[in-house]
Amino acid sequence: MRLFVAVWPPQRVVAMLGAIERPPLPPLRWTTRPQWHVTLRFLGEVDDPGPVGQALRAVPAALRAGGEAEVRAELGPATAWFSGRQVLQIPVTGLDALAKAVADRTAPWERQAEDRPFSGHLTVARTRGRARGPASVAGTPLAAAWRVEAFELVASVLGRGGARYETLDAVSLLDDDTGA
């Protein structure tokens, strides 16, 4: 099963994303509402997701122990291409401590050492094949901030219309009597 750990934006942010102009340009494949998320960690193929979900339950306590009482995500300020102009994205900051705690807890399922630092972003379009996207679609202003209330362990099923996602487990970041 192909897994990743993600944060999903709240509905008001999804509505903002839905308002972005999406010109029908041949090299672009625009992502859809069900695909809008920020990947904290890609795990790849995992035989049994149960132990991963269990390990992720320790993340909220680890964040609190590290002085992170609240996680706030900030989207924006505008759409931008990653180098190579094949992924159009919106930067998301504020998730570094959460991404590190997730990476620490999921280290046993690491396929290969990640040499690059976490780069929070939400993908809004990809190019087909090796095509470069038009520079003109970058730069759309879009900014929002929200309190992250939970993160999820997600299965990704690849298909003709893009990936389809299924939440396998959700972990709350809100304080409650159980400490979860």
Residue 106 resides in a domain: yes
Helices (H) and strands (E) in the chain, counts: 4, 10
Domains of the chain: total: 1
Which structural domain range is residue 54 located in?
A: 2-172
CA 122 to chain centre: 6
Backbone φ and ψ for 96, nearest 5 degrees, come out as: -60, -45
Residue 112 has pLDDT above 80, yes or no: no
Percent of the chain with pLDDT over 90: 83
Is 178 contained in some domain? no
- Tokens at residue 51, please? 């132990």
The pLDDT assigned to 179 comes to 41
- Is 84 a member of any domain? yes
The two tokens of residue 161 are 């219309």
What is residue 113's predicted lDDT score, i.e. its pLDDT? Answer: 57
> Residue 40: which pLDDT band, with cuts at 50, 70 and 90?
very high
Residue 177 lies in a domain: no
The yes-or-no verdict on residue 161 having pLDDT over 70 is no
Q: Token pair for residue 24?
A: 């029908």
pLDDT tens sequence across 127-155: 988 899 999 999 999 999 999 999 999 99
pLDDT score of 115 = 62
Is 122 among the domain residues?
A: yes
User: Do residues 98 and 7 make contact, with C-beta atoms less than 8 angstroms apart?
Assistant: yes
Summarised one tens digit per residue, pLDDT across range 59-99 is 999 999 999 989 999 999 999 999 999 999 999 999 999 99
pLDDT value for 117? 83
pLDDT band at 180 (very low <50, low <70, confident <90, very high): very low
Residues 6+ apart with CB under 8 A from 58: 105
**136: in domain:** yes
Res 53: pLDDT: 97
Counting beta carbons within 10 angstroms of the beta carbon of residue 41, is it exposed (0 to 12), middle (13 to 18) or buried (19 or more)? Answer: buried
Q: What is the DSSP string of 21-78?
A: -----TTEEE--GGG--EEEEEEEE-S-SHHHHHHHTTHHHHHHHTT----EEEE-SB
Has residue 154 been placed in a domain?
yes
Task: Round to the nearest angstrom and report the end-to-end CA distance of the chain.
Answer: 26
Examine residue 148 and state whether it is found in any structural domain, yes or no: yes
What's residue 110's pLDDT?
79
* CATH number of domain containing 33: 3.90.1140.10
Cis peptide before 77 (omega within 30 of 0): yes
pLDDT of the residue at 34:
92
User: In which band, very low, low, confident or very high, does the pLDDT at 24 lie, cut at 50, 70 and 90?
Assistant: very high
